[in-house]
Structure 1
Amino acid sequence: MNDVASPILKVKDLHAYIGGFHILQGVNFEAEEYKLTAILGRNGVGKTTTLKTIMGIYKAARGEVFFKGENITNFPTHSIVKRGISFVPAEKNVFANLTVIENLKLAYNGPKEKFDDKLEMVMNLFPELKRFSGLLAGELSGGQQRMLALACGLVREHDLLILDEPSEGLSPAYVKNFYRQLRHYMLENKKTILLIEQNFAYAREITDYIYLMDKGVVVTGFPSEKIEENNHVIRRILGVSL
């Protein structure tokens, strides 16, 4: 496990049931402040359920979630967001009848005088959105709506940004550039990011710490510089080789 004295996020023995199925069976992991932590695993192993249980969307049957030292287990989602977590789900959660700019203004929760700076930051990350800033979100392509959902998550004031499969719906070339820019954003602004991803090739380039998840539990975790040493377990859990 990640040896951190005081992680910004700590998940201990998290269990959750959905429709009577025991999806999370004792999830344990930590996210260090100002680092990018990734949880990798195949489809259906409980990655998204973990995030939604952290966010209070699903109820934890057992276990605890600590954010900045406070036990936030099963807090209402709006209360968790208010404490400084920005969550971008895999679904394209945008308001179709609002323009790109209006979606971003609605997502923003900081001082009015700082909105333009935030807007410039996300437009640099997603230049395609800049070209379509006056269009209704419902008129955008699926990939562009995904960009807008990510931009809305980034534009919010946050201490922890949680991204669920940000590469979903984006072209490989765009994802590579996005992850490079995301890493730069994190380092330049001293942000903390927790990332869920299926694609190991994308994640390995930008993460500080990697956890591997399988069948409702976190199997192992290691610093990114020790990827080579963990090739055997990566191959077993993810089905890929370095």
Structure 2
Amino acid sequence: MAERVEAVLKAAKVLRSFDPQHRIMTVREVSARTGIPRSTCHALCSTLVEARMLEAMPEGGYRLGPAVAWLGAQVLERIGLAEAATRTMEDLARQFGGGVQLGQYVAKGWIVYLHHVEHDRGLIRHRFGSRVPAYRTACGRAAMSRFEPLEVADIMTLHPGVDLDLLLRDLTLARERGFAISDTSSPQVRSVAACILDPDGSVVGAVSIAQRKSVMNERRTLALGNAIRSAAQEISQRLATRGRIG
């Protein structure tokens, strides 16, 4: 049996102690959640900051760092989603302009962004590795539109303060038309997105296209919605053909 390295196990325990309810923690709080002595936690956190696995906050405390997002995105990408979607996304950007994004749905109402094609700079807000509450984005709402109301309600217990009835109405409409519309990322931007499914009909993620709201009249929004719905179906079929989802 390989020799255990206790310091590595403790560092992993520190990283796992962060979650959506504990995004920023002091050394005292990390110590309380992990059971690791405070002096050891301080040394571990300082070292993890050097490795970019944690970030030290100006006001005190720590949060997960960019290296964690980068590694996590690589794990998510094992299903080949970005590979299957890239060509379709480039075609969309050439045809319609704007910015095209690909998000993968992860447990309990989160979207992680894996890829983007930006034809018009300034439209893409979420970059590679960004982890965002799904209800806030077109990609996330497209994914959540495939869930039953009780599942949505359970997810939203982790995101208090949201009007659940209004969200459920929006998700029902998105499922009926095959795409979600969101104006929440920026006052000047509108996004439309459609859900990507695996061969069993389970949600994998979503693809979206964003354009400036000044050009997004009803006809343009519908045209982009139909295009993004077809794009999501194409990506879903490509995933099934490649057999990349187990």
TM-score (norm 2): 0.30
Q: Max radius of gyration: which structure? A: 2
**Which protein has the bigger strand share?**
1
TM-score (norm 1): 0.30
**Which protein has the bigger helix share?**
2
